[in-house]
Amino acid sequence: MPPRYAVNIADLARLEEIPRLCLMAPVVQSRTTIRAEPGMIDGAAIVLECPERQAAAICDLVRDLDVRAKRYETRCYIEGKRGGWHRMKRRERILKR
């Protein structure tokens, strides 16, 4: 089973809402949330319900928009083999160009 991806909800609520909403709306139909960072007040994330490459591309694009705007990168998470979630490293590219 391929890994699932999730995006931090608090980070999605920042500026440039329209591009983020257009990217996210089709892939979060059931609105499944997780506690990606337990103990943090803003540690909740929403699971992307789409093929792995599409989820990876969405994460890459959202984070690129943040870098261009010189903001803190949106926190994206990948589900591990044993069911835990870990945060992607800063500037980590998911898709190879």
Give the span between the Cα atoms of 71 and 10, in whole angstroms: 14
Give the span between the Cα atoms of 54 and 48, in whole angstroms: 9
Give 38-48 pLDDT, tens digit per residue.
Answer: 899 999 999 99
Give 16-74 pLDDT, tens digit per residue.
Answer: 677 777 888 889 888 889 999 989 999 999 999 999 889 988 888 888 888 888 888 88
Contact between 33 and 45 (Cβ < 8 Å):
yes
Answer positive or negative: Cα dihedral of 15, 95, 47, 28: positive
Residue 80, both tokens: 């591990």
Sequence ranges of the domains in the chain: 5-87
φ, ψ of residue 16 in degrees (nearest 5): 55, 55
Model-level pTM?
A: 0.84
